[in-house]
Structure 1
Amino acid sequence: MEDARECLRDGVLNHLNVLEIEALELSRQQQLCLQQQSRVDDLRIMVDKLRAQKDQLKARAKTTMSLQQLKAVVHQRNEEFNDDISEEGCSMTAKSQLSFLMARKTQVKDLLQAHHLIGGYDVTETCRGKGVCISIATAFEGFYLETYNLELDVSRAIQICRHNIPPFIPLEKLAQVNLQTDLMGFLSTLSHHLNGFAGRRQQIRLIQEVLRDSVEVMESNVLFNTIVLMCADPEENGRAVLCTLEYSDLSRYLPTKVTIESEDKALPSTPQWKESQSLLLQTPAHTALKALKMKGQIA
Protein backbone atom coordinates (compact mmCIF):
# COMPACT_ATOMS: atom_id res chain seq x y z
CA MET A 1 0.00 0.00 0.00
CA GLU A 2 2.85 2.33 0.88
CA ASP A 3 4.57 1.56 -2.40
CA ALA A 4 1.44 2.44 -4.34
CA ARG A 5 1.21 5.78 -2.60
CA GLU A 6 4.88 6.46 -3.32
CA CYS A 7 4.38 5.67 -7.00
CA LEU A 8 1.29 7.86 -7.19
CA ARG A 9 3.14 10.79 -5.57
CA ASP A 10 6.08 10.40 -7.92
CA GLY A 11 3.70 10.33 -10.89
CA VAL A 12 1.95 13.49 -9.77
CA LEU A 13 5.25 15.26 -9.18
CA ASN A 14 6.52 14.22 -12.58
CA HIS A 15 3.33 15.44 -14.22
CA LEU A 16 3.57 18.78 -12.40
CA ASN A 17 7.19 19.07 -13.45
CA VAL A 18 6.23 18.45 -17.07
CA LEU A 19 3.47 21.08 -16.85
CA GLU A 20 5.90 23.60 -15.32
CA ILE A 21 8.40 22.99 -18.12
CA GLU A 22 5.67 23.39 -20.75
CA ALA A 23 4.48 26.62 -19.08
CA LEU A 24 8.02 28.01 -19.07
CA GLU A 25 8.46 27.05 -22.72
CA LEU A 26 5.12 28.67 -23.64
CA SER A 27 6.10 31.85 -21.76
CA ARG A 28 9.45 31.93 -23.54
CA GLN A 29 7.75 31.52 -26.93
CA GLN A 30 5.28 34.29 -26.13
CA GLN A 31 8.12 36.65 -25.16
CA LEU A 32 9.92 35.69 -28.36
CA CYS A 33 6.79 36.42 -30.40
CA LEU A 34 6.38 39.81 -28.70
CA GLN A 35 10.02 40.65 -29.42
CA GLN A 36 9.60 39.58 -33.04
CA GLN A 37 6.40 41.63 -33.37
CA SER A 38 8.18 44.66 -31.89
CA ARG A 39 11.02 44.13 -34.34
CA VAL A 40 8.54 43.86 -37.22
CA ASP A 41 6.87 47.10 -36.14
CA ASP A 42 10.26 48.85 -35.97
CA LEU A 43 11.11 47.56 -39.44
CA ARG A 44 7.77 48.77 -40.82
CA ILE A 45 8.38 52.24 -39.38
CA MET A 46 11.86 52.24 -40.92
CA VAL A 47 10.44 51.13 -44.29
CA ASP A 48 7.84 53.93 -44.20
CA LYS A 49 10.57 56.50 -43.45
CA LEU A 50 12.75 55.16 -46.26
CA ARG A 51 9.82 55.27 -48.69
CA ALA A 52 9.11 58.88 -47.72
CA GLN A 53 12.78 59.77 -48.27
CA LYS A 54 12.71 57.94 -51.61
CA ASP A 55 9.64 59.91 -52.73
CA GLN A 56 11.30 63.18 -51.71
CA LEU A 57 14.46 62.27 -53.60
CA LYS A 58 12.41 61.31 -56.67
CA ALA A 59 10.55 64.64 -56.60
CA ARG A 60 13.81 66.55 -56.16
CA ALA A 61 15.50 64.60 -58.96
CA LYS A 62 12.52 65.16 -61.27
CA THR A 63 12.54 68.90 -60.61
CA THR A 64 16.31 69.11 -61.10
CA MET A 65 16.11 67.11 -64.33
CA SER A 66 13.29 69.30 -65.67
CA LEU A 67 15.26 72.44 -64.92
CA GLN A 68 18.44 71.02 -66.46
CA GLN A 69 16.51 70.01 -69.58
CA LEU A 70 15.01 73.49 -69.74
CA LYS A 71 18.42 75.14 -69.44
CA ALA A 72 19.94 72.75 -72.00
CA VAL A 73 17.12 73.39 -74.48
CA VAL A 74 17.39 77.17 -74.18
CA HIS A 75 21.21 77.12 -74.35
CA GLN A 76 21.31 74.79 -77.36
CA ARG A 77 18.75 76.77 -79.31
CA ASN A 78 20.58 80.00 -78.51
CA GLU A 79 23.88 78.58 -79.84
CA GLU A 80 22.21 77.24 -82.99
CA PHE A 81 20.53 80.57 -83.58
CA ASN A 82 23.82 82.47 -83.20
CA ASP A 83 25.58 80.01 -85.54
CA ASP A 84 22.93 80.51 -88.20
CA ILE A 85 23.20 84.29 -87.92
CA SER A 86 27.02 84.31 -88.20
CA GLU A 87 27.16 81.78 -91.07
CA GLU A 88 28.62 83.27 -94.27
CA GLY A 89 29.00 86.72 -92.77
CA CYS A 90 25.29 87.03 -91.94
CA SER A 91 24.42 87.39 -95.63
CA MET A 92 20.66 87.19 -95.97
CA THR A 93 20.61 84.92 -99.02
CA ALA A 94 17.80 82.49 -99.67
CA LYS A 95 19.79 79.69 -98.05
CA SER A 96 20.52 81.65 -94.87
CA GLN A 97 16.92 82.83 -94.66
CA LEU A 98 15.74 79.22 -94.86
CA SER A 99 18.23 78.18 -92.16
CA PHE A 100 17.09 81.07 -90.00
CA LEU A 101 13.42 80.09 -90.32
CA MET A 102 14.18 76.44 -89.60
CA ALA A 103 16.15 77.43 -86.50
CA ARG A 104 13.29 79.61 -85.29
CA LYS A 105 10.81 76.77 -85.88
CA THR A 106 12.98 74.40 -83.87
CA GLN A 107 13.37 77.01 -81.16
CA VAL A 108 9.61 77.43 -80.88
CA LYS A 109 9.11 73.66 -80.65
CA ASP A 110 11.68 73.37 -77.90
CA LEU A 111 10.18 76.25 -75.98
CA LEU A 112 6.85 74.44 -76.18
CA GLN A 113 8.58 71.36 -74.82
CA ALA A 114 9.99 73.47 -71.98
CA HIS A 115 6.46 74.81 -71.46
CA HIS A 116 5.28 71.28 -70.69
CA LEU A 117 8.35 70.43 -68.61
CA ILE A 118 7.55 73.11 -66.03
CA GLY A 119 3.85 72.38 -65.80
CA GLY A 120 2.13 74.32 -68.56
CA TYR A 121 3.23 77.86 -67.72
CA ASP A 122 4.07 80.16 -70.64
CA VAL A 123 7.84 80.43 -71.03
CA THR A 124 9.88 82.96 -72.99
CA GLU A 125 13.65 82.90 -73.40
CA THR A 126 15.52 85.97 -72.08
CA CYS A 127 19.12 87.17 -71.86
CA ARG A 128 20.24 85.00 -74.80
CA GLY A 129 19.43 81.74 -73.08
CA LYS A 130 20.63 82.70 -69.61
CA GLY A 131 17.13 83.28 -68.31
CA VAL A 132 13.46 82.54 -68.81
CA CYS A 133 10.33 84.61 -68.26
CA ILE A 134 7.38 82.64 -66.86
CA SER A 135 3.84 84.01 -67.19
CA ILE A 136 1.20 83.06 -64.60
CA ALA A 137 -2.40 83.77 -65.59
CA THR A 138 -5.16 84.20 -63.01
CA ALA A 139 -8.81 83.32 -63.48
CA PHE A 140 -12.06 83.22 -61.52
CA GLU A 141 -15.22 81.31 -62.39
CA GLY A 142 -13.94 80.58 -65.89
CA PHE A 143 -12.89 84.17 -66.75
CA TYR A 144 -9.25 85.10 -67.22
CA LEU A 145 -8.10 88.08 -65.19
CA GLU A 146 -4.58 89.52 -64.80
CA THR A 147 -1.36 87.85 -65.94
CA TYR A 148 1.81 88.17 -63.87
CA ASN A 149 5.37 87.66 -65.08
CA LEU A 150 8.41 86.28 -63.31
CA GLU A 151 11.89 86.39 -64.88
CA LEU A 152 14.38 83.79 -63.59
CA ASP A 153 18.13 83.63 -64.04
CA VAL A 154 18.94 79.97 -64.73
CA SER A 155 22.61 80.37 -65.68
CA ARG A 156 23.74 79.16 -62.24
CA ALA A 157 21.53 78.90 -59.17
CA ILE A 158 17.94 79.91 -59.90
CA GLN A 159 17.39 83.57 -59.00
CA ILE A 160 14.46 85.94 -59.43
CA CYS A 161 15.58 88.86 -61.62
CA ARG A 162 12.43 90.88 -62.28
CA HIS A 163 8.71 90.44 -61.68
CA ASN A 164 5.42 92.29 -61.44
CA ILE A 165 4.02 90.22 -58.57
CA PRO A 166 2.07 92.48 -56.15
CA PRO A 167 4.23 93.44 -53.14
CA PHE A 168 1.79 91.99 -50.62
CA ILE A 169 2.20 88.48 -52.07
CA PRO A 170 4.93 86.76 -49.93
CA LEU A 171 7.16 86.07 -52.95
CA GLU A 172 10.49 86.04 -51.06
CA LYS A 173 9.12 83.72 -48.38
CA LEU A 174 7.77 81.31 -51.00
CA ALA A 175 11.08 81.42 -52.87
CA GLN A 176 13.04 80.57 -49.72
CA VAL A 177 10.91 77.49 -49.16
CA ASN A 178 11.34 75.62 -52.44
CA LEU A 179 12.56 77.73 -55.38
CA GLN A 180 15.93 75.94 -55.51
CA THR A 181 14.70 72.42 -54.73
CA ASP A 182 11.20 72.26 -56.23
CA LEU A 183 10.55 74.73 -59.05
CA MET A 184 7.17 73.16 -59.85
CA GLY A 185 6.09 73.39 -56.22
CA PHE A 186 7.18 77.04 -56.05
CA LEU A 187 5.24 77.98 -59.19
CA SER A 188 2.17 76.06 -58.04
CA THR A 189 2.14 77.74 -54.61
CA LEU A 190 2.69 81.17 -56.15
CA SER A 191 -0.12 80.53 -58.65
CA HIS A 192 -2.51 79.59 -55.83
CA HIS A 193 -1.68 82.79 -53.95
CA LEU A 194 -2.19 84.94 -57.05
CA ASN A 195 -5.46 83.21 -57.99
CA GLY A 196 -6.72 83.45 -54.40
CA PHE A 197 -6.05 87.21 -54.40
CA ALA A 198 -7.58 87.67 -57.85
CA GLY A 199 -10.68 85.67 -56.83
CA ARG A 200 -11.24 87.70 -53.67
CA ARG A 201 -10.82 91.00 -55.52
CA GLN A 202 -13.14 89.89 -58.34
CA GLN A 203 -15.88 89.04 -55.82
CA ILE A 204 -15.74 92.60 -54.45
CA ARG A 205 -15.93 94.01 -57.97
CA LEU A 206 -19.01 91.91 -58.73
CA ILE A 207 -20.68 92.93 -55.45
CA GLN A 208 -20.10 96.59 -56.26
CA GLU A 209 -21.42 96.16 -59.81
CA VAL A 210 -24.37 93.78 -59.34
CA LEU A 211 -25.43 94.37 -55.71
CA ARG A 212 -24.55 98.03 -55.20
CA ASP A 213 -28.19 98.85 -54.23
CA SER A 214 -28.31 96.11 -51.58
CA VAL A 215 -24.77 95.64 -50.23
CA GLU A 216 -22.12 98.22 -49.38
CA VAL A 217 -18.44 97.38 -49.02
CA MET A 218 -17.56 99.13 -45.78
CA GLU A 219 -13.96 97.99 -45.41
CA SER A 220 -11.32 96.04 -47.32
CA ASN A 221 -7.53 96.07 -47.68
CA VAL A 222 -5.17 95.66 -50.64
CA LEU A 223 -4.89 91.93 -50.05
CA PHE A 224 -8.68 91.55 -49.65
CA ASN A 225 -8.15 89.14 -46.74
CA THR A 226 -10.51 91.11 -44.44
CA ILE A 227 -13.75 92.40 -45.93
CA VAL A 228 -16.66 94.06 -44.12
CA LEU A 229 -20.01 94.19 -45.94
CA MET A 230 -23.14 96.04 -44.81
CA CYS A 231 -26.63 94.99 -45.85
CA ALA A 232 -30.13 95.69 -44.53
CA ASP A 233 -32.47 93.18 -42.90
CA PRO A 234 -35.98 93.84 -44.33
CA GLU A 235 -37.67 92.17 -41.37
CA GLU A 236 -36.07 94.61 -38.97
CA ASN A 237 -37.16 97.83 -40.66
CA GLY A 238 -33.98 98.12 -42.63
CA ARG A 239 -31.69 97.57 -39.64
CA ALA A 240 -28.07 97.25 -40.77
CA VAL A 241 -26.31 93.89 -40.63
CA LEU A 242 -22.52 93.67 -40.88
CA CYS A 243 -20.87 90.62 -42.42
CA THR A 244 -17.11 90.34 -41.80
CA LEU A 245 -15.27 87.90 -44.06
CA GLU A 246 -11.79 86.81 -42.95
CA TYR A 247 -9.36 84.87 -45.16
CA SER A 248 -6.55 83.38 -43.06
CA ASP A 249 -5.50 81.14 -45.98
CA LEU A 250 -4.28 83.58 -48.63
CA SER A 251 -4.30 80.90 -51.34
CA ARG A 252 -8.12 80.60 -51.17
CA TYR A 253 -10.96 82.76 -52.44
CA LEU A 254 -13.43 81.45 -49.82
CA PRO A 255 -13.34 82.85 -46.28
CA THR A 256 -12.14 80.83 -43.30
CA LYS A 257 -14.32 82.81 -40.86
CA VAL A 258 -17.58 84.76 -41.21
CA THR A 259 -18.92 87.00 -38.43
CA ILE A 260 -22.47 88.43 -38.42
CA GLU A 261 -23.14 91.57 -36.31
CA SER A 262 -26.23 93.72 -35.76
CA GLU A 263 -27.72 96.17 -33.28
CA ASP A 264 -30.10 93.35 -32.43
CA LYS A 265 -27.74 91.04 -30.51
CA ALA A 266 -30.08 88.08 -30.98
CA LEU A 267 -30.26 88.39 -34.77
CA PRO A 268 -26.95 86.63 -35.62
CA SER A 269 -28.15 83.57 -33.65
CA THR A 270 -31.39 83.17 -35.60
CA PRO A 271 -31.66 80.09 -37.86
CA GLN A 272 -31.87 82.26 -41.01
CA TRP A 273 -28.63 84.10 -40.32
CA LYS A 274 -26.87 80.94 -39.09
CA GLU A 275 -27.71 79.43 -42.47
CA SER A 276 -26.51 82.61 -44.21
CA GLN A 277 -23.23 82.42 -42.30
CA SER A 278 -22.70 78.85 -43.48
CA LEU A 279 -23.56 79.86 -47.07
CA LEU A 280 -20.95 82.65 -47.02
CA LEU A 281 -18.32 80.16 -45.85
CA GLN A 282 -19.01 77.74 -48.70
CA THR A 283 -19.95 80.02 -51.62
CA PRO A 284 -18.31 83.09 -53.23
CA ALA A 285 -19.59 86.25 -51.55
CA HIS A 286 -21.39 87.74 -54.56
CA THR A 287 -23.20 84.45 -55.25
CA ALA A 288 -24.22 84.00 -51.61
CA LEU A 289 -25.50 87.57 -51.30
CA LYS A 290 -27.51 87.27 -54.52
CA ALA A 291 -29.12 84.14 -53.09
CA LEU A 292 -29.97 85.97 -49.84
CA LYS A 293 -31.52 88.83 -51.83
CA MET A 294 -33.63 86.43 -53.87
CA LYS A 295 -34.91 84.81 -50.67
CA GLY A 296 -35.78 88.24 -49.29
CA GLN A 297 -33.36 87.99 -46.36
CA ILE A 298 -31.63 91.25 -47.30
CA ALA A 299 -33.26 94.34 -48.76
Structure 2
Amino acid sequence: GKMEEGKVDSADGLFAHLFCLEAQAQEAAVKQEEAERQEEKVARLRARVQELRLQRDELQAKVDLQQKGQLGEGGALAAPAQPSAQAVLEWKIKSLKAMLEIFYLTGLSAKLTKHGVCFSISTAYEGTYLDSYHLELLPKPAVQIQQHSIPSFIPLEQISSRYLQTDIRQFLAVLAAHLNAYVGRRYQAEQLQELFSEQIEGTLQRNSLCNLLVFRYKVTRQGQSFPFQARLLYRDLCCSLPTEVMVSCTSEAPAALAEVAAAHSALFRHLALHRAF
Protein backbone atom coordinates (compact mmCIF):
# COMPACT_ATOMS: atom_id res chain seq x y z
CA GLY A 1 0.00 0.00 0.00
CA LYS A 2 0.96 3.66 -0.08
CA MET A 3 2.32 3.59 3.45
CA GLU A 4 4.60 0.67 2.61
CA GLU A 5 6.19 2.05 -0.57
CA GLY A 6 9.89 1.97 0.05
CA LYS A 7 11.96 2.25 3.18
CA VAL A 8 13.10 5.70 4.17
CA ASP A 9 16.62 5.51 5.55
CA SER A 10 17.75 9.13 5.32
CA ALA A 11 16.35 12.61 5.80
CA ASP A 12 16.48 13.32 2.06
CA GLY A 13 14.78 10.05 1.29
CA LEU A 14 12.11 10.74 3.90
CA PHE A 15 11.21 14.14 2.49
CA ALA A 16 11.18 12.77 -1.05
CA HIS A 17 8.86 10.02 0.13
CA LEU A 18 6.57 12.54 1.83
CA PHE A 19 6.52 14.72 -1.28
CA CYS A 20 5.53 11.70 -3.35
CA LEU A 21 2.72 10.82 -0.94
CA GLU A 22 1.38 14.36 -1.00
CA ALA A 23 1.49 14.48 -4.80
CA GLN A 24 -0.36 11.18 -5.04
CA ALA A 25 -3.02 12.39 -2.62
CA GLN A 26 -3.53 15.64 -4.54
CA GLU A 27 -3.70 13.85 -7.89
CA ALA A 28 -6.24 11.35 -6.56
CA ALA A 29 -8.33 14.14 -5.05
CA VAL A 30 -8.37 16.10 -8.33
CA LYS A 31 -9.43 13.02 -10.33
CA GLN A 32 -12.13 12.16 -7.83
CA GLU A 33 -13.51 15.72 -7.81
CA GLU A 34 -13.59 15.83 -11.63
CA ALA A 35 -15.43 12.50 -11.84
CA GLU A 36 -17.94 13.64 -9.23
CA ARG A 37 -18.52 16.91 -11.11
CA GLN A 38 -19.25 15.05 -14.34
CA GLU A 39 -21.64 12.64 -12.62
CA GLU A 40 -23.42 15.52 -10.89
CA LYS A 41 -23.74 17.41 -14.18
CA VAL A 42 -25.34 14.46 -15.96
CA ALA A 43 -27.65 13.81 -13.01
CA ARG A 44 -28.70 17.48 -12.90
CA LEU A 45 -29.50 17.52 -16.61
CA ARG A 46 -31.53 14.33 -16.39
CA ALA A 47 -33.34 15.54 -13.30
CA ARG A 48 -34.09 18.87 -15.00
CA VAL A 49 -35.71 17.10 -17.93
CA GLN A 50 -37.87 15.05 -15.61
CA GLU A 51 -38.68 18.10 -13.51
CA LEU A 52 -39.98 19.93 -16.57
CA ARG A 53 -42.12 16.93 -17.42
CA LEU A 54 -43.44 16.91 -13.89
CA GLN A 55 -44.32 20.61 -14.09
CA ARG A 56 -46.12 19.96 -17.37
CA ASP A 57 -48.15 17.14 -15.82
CA GLU A 58 -48.97 19.26 -12.77
CA LEU A 59 -50.22 22.12 -14.94
CA GLN A 60 -52.29 19.72 -17.01
CA ALA A 61 -53.77 18.23 -13.85
CA LYS A 62 -54.72 21.69 -12.58
CA VAL A 63 -56.36 22.52 -15.90
CA ASP A 64 -58.31 19.26 -15.75
CA LEU A 65 -59.50 20.07 -12.23
CA GLN A 66 -60.60 23.56 -13.26
CA GLN A 67 -62.48 22.25 -16.27
CA LYS A 68 -64.27 19.66 -14.14
CA GLY A 69 -65.30 22.34 -11.67
CA GLN A 70 -66.46 24.91 -14.25
CA LEU A 71 -68.43 22.77 -16.72
CA GLY A 72 -71.99 22.12 -15.71
CA GLU A 73 -74.61 19.87 -17.25
CA GLY A 74 -74.56 19.83 -21.03
CA GLY A 75 -71.13 21.41 -21.08
CA ALA A 76 -72.39 24.85 -20.04
CA LEU A 77 -70.12 27.04 -17.96
CA ALA A 78 -70.95 27.05 -14.28
CA ALA A 79 -69.66 29.11 -11.40
CA PRO A 80 -66.11 28.16 -10.41
CA ALA A 81 -66.14 25.50 -7.72
CA GLN A 82 -63.50 24.25 -5.36
CA PRO A 83 -62.18 20.82 -6.36
CA SER A 84 -63.35 17.98 -4.18
CA ALA A 85 -61.07 16.29 -1.66
CA GLN A 86 -61.06 13.20 -3.86
CA ALA A 87 -59.99 15.24 -6.89
CA VAL A 88 -57.16 16.86 -4.93
CA LEU A 89 -56.01 13.45 -3.69
CA GLU A 90 -56.03 12.10 -7.26
CA TRP A 91 -53.95 15.07 -8.36
CA LYS A 92 -51.44 14.45 -5.55
CA ILE A 93 -51.13 10.79 -6.52
CA LYS A 94 -50.66 11.72 -10.18
CA SER A 95 -47.92 14.16 -9.18
CA LEU A 96 -46.22 11.51 -7.07
CA LYS A 97 -46.29 9.10 -9.99
CA ALA A 98 -44.60 11.68 -12.19
CA MET A 99 -41.88 12.13 -9.57
CA LEU A 100 -40.96 8.45 -9.46
CA GLU A 101 -38.81 8.58 -12.58
CA ILE A 102 -36.84 11.52 -11.17
CA PHE A 103 -36.14 9.63 -7.97
CA TYR A 104 -35.01 6.54 -9.88
CA LEU A 105 -32.20 8.57 -11.47
CA THR A 106 -30.71 9.32 -8.06
CA GLY A 107 -30.78 5.82 -6.54
CA LEU A 108 -34.37 6.17 -5.36
CA SER A 109 -37.30 4.05 -6.41
CA ALA A 110 -40.90 4.02 -5.31
CA LYS A 111 -44.20 2.24 -5.67
CA LEU A 112 -47.72 3.24 -4.86
CA THR A 113 -49.33 1.56 -1.88
CA LYS A 114 -52.96 1.45 -0.82
CA HIS A 115 -52.65 4.67 1.15
CA GLY A 116 -49.55 6.42 -0.17
CA VAL A 117 -46.10 5.83 -1.63
CA CYS A 118 -43.31 3.53 -0.42
CA PHE A 119 -39.81 4.78 -1.27
CA SER A 120 -36.66 2.66 -1.43
CA ILE A 121 -33.27 4.37 -1.07
CA SER A 122 -30.39 2.28 -2.41
CA THR A 123 -26.91 3.12 -1.13
CA ALA A 124 -23.50 2.40 -2.60
CA TYR A 125 -19.86 3.39 -2.24
CA GLU A 126 -17.35 3.47 -5.11
CA GLY A 127 -19.70 1.41 -7.24
CA THR A 128 -20.30 -1.23 -4.57
CA TYR A 129 -23.96 -1.69 -3.66
CA LEU A 130 -24.42 -1.71 0.10
CA ASP A 131 -27.86 -1.35 1.74
CA SER A 132 -31.41 -0.31 0.92
CA TYR A 133 -33.68 1.62 3.26
CA HIS A 134 -37.41 2.08 3.01
CA LEU A 135 -40.03 4.55 4.14
CA GLU A 136 -43.71 4.95 3.37
CA LEU A 137 -45.26 8.40 3.03
CA LEU A 138 -48.95 9.19 3.38
CA PRO A 139 -50.05 12.26 1.36
CA LYS A 140 -53.09 13.26 3.43
CA PRO A 141 -54.11 15.32 5.22
CA ALA A 142 -50.48 16.45 5.53
CA VAL A 143 -47.54 14.41 4.32
CA GLN A 144 -46.44 12.07 7.07
CA ILE A 145 -44.15 9.07 7.51
CA GLN A 146 -46.17 5.92 8.10
CA GLN A 147 -43.25 3.52 8.64
CA HIS A 148 -39.56 3.30 7.80
CA SER A 149 -36.31 1.35 8.23
CA ILE A 150 -34.01 4.37 8.62
CA PRO A 151 -31.42 3.82 11.41
CA SER A 152 -32.24 5.71 14.60
CA PHE A 153 -28.97 7.68 14.52
CA ILE A 154 -29.81 9.28 11.15
CA PRO A 155 -31.44 12.69 11.91
CA LEU A 156 -34.71 11.77 10.19
CA GLU A 157 -36.89 13.95 12.42
CA GLN A 158 -34.73 17.00 11.78
CA ILE A 159 -34.73 16.42 8.02
CA SER A 160 -38.49 15.82 8.03
CA SER A 161 -39.32 18.98 9.95
CA ARG A 162 -37.31 21.03 7.50
CA TYR A 163 -38.36 19.58 4.14
CA LEU A 164 -41.18 17.04 4.30
CA GLN A 165 -44.14 19.43 4.12
CA THR A 166 -42.61 21.82 1.59
CA ASP A 167 -40.36 19.82 -0.75
CA ILE A 168 -40.54 16.03 -0.83
CA ARG A 169 -37.83 15.79 -3.47
CA GLN A 170 -35.40 17.76 -1.33
CA PHE A 171 -36.39 15.72 1.71
CA LEU A 172 -35.53 12.48 -0.08
CA ALA A 173 -32.34 13.91 -1.59
CA VAL A 174 -31.01 15.06 1.79
CA LEU A 175 -32.01 11.79 3.45
CA ALA A 176 -30.27 9.81 0.69
CA ALA A 177 -27.13 11.94 1.11
CA HIS A 178 -27.04 11.15 4.85
CA LEU A 179 -27.54 7.43 4.24
CA ASN A 180 -24.94 7.18 1.47
CA ALA A 181 -22.36 9.05 3.52
CA TYR A 182 -23.02 6.84 6.55
CA VAL A 183 -22.68 3.55 4.65
CA GLY A 184 -19.59 4.94 2.90
CA ARG A 185 -17.89 5.68 6.22
CA ARG A 186 -18.92 2.30 7.59
CA TYR A 187 -17.69 0.50 4.48
CA GLN A 188 -14.27 2.17 4.69
CA ALA A 189 -13.89 1.19 8.35
CA GLU A 190 -14.86 -2.41 7.62
CA GLN A 191 -12.49 -2.63 4.65
CA LEU A 192 -9.63 -1.21 6.70
CA GLN A 193 -10.19 -3.73 9.47
CA GLU A 194 -10.53 -6.62 7.02
CA LEU A 195 -7.73 -5.87 4.55
CA PHE A 196 -5.09 -4.49 6.91
CA SER A 197 -5.63 -6.48 10.10
CA GLU A 198 -1.88 -7.18 10.36
CA GLN A 199 -1.08 -3.46 10.51
CA ILE A 200 -4.02 -2.44 12.71
CA GLU A 201 -3.40 -2.91 16.43
CA GLY A 202 -6.48 -3.94 18.34
CA THR A 203 -10.01 -3.09 17.24
CA LEU A 204 -10.97 0.00 15.31
CA GLN A 205 -13.23 2.11 17.53
CA ARG A 206 -16.25 3.82 16.00
CA ASN A 207 -19.63 5.17 17.03
CA SER A 208 -22.96 4.13 15.52
CA LEU A 209 -22.96 6.92 12.94
CA CYS A 210 -19.34 6.14 12.01
CA ASN A 211 -18.49 9.83 12.11
CA LEU A 212 -15.78 9.27 14.72
CA LEU A 213 -13.10 6.64 14.10
CA VAL A 214 -10.06 5.90 16.27
CA PHE A 215 -7.49 3.21 15.53
CA ARG A 216 -3.84 2.30 16.08
CA TYR A 217 -1.47 0.97 13.44
CA LYS A 218 2.21 0.12 13.06
CA VAL A 219 4.80 1.91 10.95
CA THR A 220 8.12 0.13 10.35
CA ARG A 221 11.32 2.11 9.87
CA GLN A 222 14.81 0.60 9.69
CA GLY A 223 13.56 -2.73 10.97
CA GLN A 224 11.78 -1.23 13.98
CA SER A 225 8.01 -0.84 14.46
CA PHE A 226 6.47 2.30 15.91
CA PRO A 227 2.82 2.64 17.01
CA PHE A 228 0.73 5.40 15.44
CA GLN A 229 -2.76 6.51 16.45
CA ALA A 230 -5.31 8.08 14.09
CA ARG A 231 -8.46 9.97 15.05
CA LEU A 232 -10.86 10.85 12.24
CA LEU A 233 -13.84 13.15 12.77
CA TYR A 234 -16.60 13.66 10.18
CA ARG A 235 -18.47 16.85 11.07
CA ASP A 236 -20.28 16.90 7.71
CA LEU A 237 -22.70 13.99 8.02
CA CYS A 238 -23.34 14.06 4.27
CA CYS A 239 -19.67 13.38 3.50
CA SER A 240 -17.69 10.14 3.55
CA LEU A 241 -14.32 11.87 3.97
CA PRO A 242 -13.25 13.30 7.34
CA THR A 243 -13.22 17.00 8.13
CA GLU A 244 -10.62 16.64 10.88
CA VAL A 245 -7.74 14.15 11.14
CA MET A 246 -5.17 13.78 13.89
CA VAL A 247 -2.32 11.29 13.52
CA SER A 248 0.27 10.96 16.28
CA CYS A 249 3.15 8.70 17.22
CA THR A 250 4.75 7.94 20.56
CA SER A 251 7.25 10.31 22.12
CA GLU A 252 9.93 7.61 21.84
CA ALA A 253 9.69 7.60 18.04
CA PRO A 254 12.39 9.38 15.98
CA ALA A 255 11.64 13.04 15.30
CA ALA A 256 11.48 12.36 11.56
CA LEU A 257 8.35 10.24 12.07
CA ALA A 258 6.40 13.38 12.96
CA GLU A 259 6.63 14.28 9.27
CA VAL A 260 5.36 10.81 8.39
CA ALA A 261 2.38 11.34 10.71
CA ALA A 262 1.61 14.64 8.95
CA ALA A 263 1.76 12.91 5.56
CA HIS A 264 -0.58 10.17 6.76
CA SER A 265 -2.99 12.81 8.04
CA ALA A 266 -3.13 14.37 4.56
CA LEU A 267 -3.77 10.97 2.98
CA PHE A 268 -6.64 10.20 5.34
CA ARG A 269 -8.29 13.55 4.52
CA HIS A 270 -8.18 13.05 0.75
CA LEU A 271 -8.48 9.31 0.16
CA ALA A 272 -10.87 6.58 1.19
CA LEU A 273 -9.54 5.13 4.42
CA HIS A 274 -8.72 1.66 3.06
CA ARG A 275 -7.01 3.18 0.00
CA ALA A 276 -4.64 5.30 2.07
CA PHE A 277 -2.83 2.22 3.37
State the TM-score, normalizing by the size of structure 2. 0.61
Q: Distance in 2 between matches of 1:147 and 1:197?
A: 12
Q: Counterpart of 1:251?
A: 238
Report deviation, 1:268. Answer: 8.7
Q: Counterpart of 1:275?
A: 263
Give 1:23-34 correspondences, 5 Å limit. none
Give 5+ residue unaligned stretches, structure 1.
Answer: 1-61, 73-109, 290-299
- 2:218 pairs with 1:227: no
CA contact (8 A) 2:159 2:171 kept: yes
Q: Distance in 1 between matches of 2:156 and 2:97?
A: 26
- 2:245 pairs with 1:261: no
Secondary structure of residue in 1 paired with 2:208: coil
CA contact (8 A) 1:111 1:124 kept: no
Q: Counterpart of 1:214?
A: 199
Larger Cα-atom Rg: 1
CA contact (8 A) 2:248 2:261 kept: no
CA contact (8 A) 1:261 1:268 kept: no
Report deviation, 1:214. Answer: 1.0
1:193 maps to amino acid:
H
Q: Counterpart of 1:239?
A: 226
Secondary structure of residue in 2 paired with 1:204: helix
Secondary structure of residue in 2 paired with 1:149: strand
Between stretches 208-217 and 224-233, larger displacement belongs to: 208-217
Give 1:118-197 correspondences, 5 Å limit. 118=103, 120=105, 121-127=108-114, 130-197=115-182
Q: 1:200 to 1:169 in 2, by over 3 A?
A: same
Secondary structure of residue in 2 paired with 1:152: strand
Report deviation, 1:157. Answer: 1.2
Q: 1:268 to 1:219 in 2, by over 3 A?
A: farther
Deviations 1:154-187 (A, max 9, x none): 1321101100000000000000011111111111
Give 1:105-124 correspondences, 5 Å limit. 113-118=98-103, 120=105, 121-124=108-111
Q: Distance in 2 between matches of 1:195 and 1:125?
A: 24
2:246 maps to amino acid:
T
Q: Which has the higher helix share?
A: 1
Deviations 1:222-258 (A, max 9, x none): 1111111111121283221101111111111100011
Report deviation, 1:218. Answer: 3.4
Q: Distance in 1 between matches of 2:176 and 2:122?
A: 8
Counting matched residue pairs gives 187
Report deviation, 1:111. Answer: 8.2
Identical-pair percentage = 33
1:272 maps to amino acid:
V
Q: Distance in 2 between matches of 1:118 and 1:191?
A: 10
Q: Counterpart of 2:41?
A: none
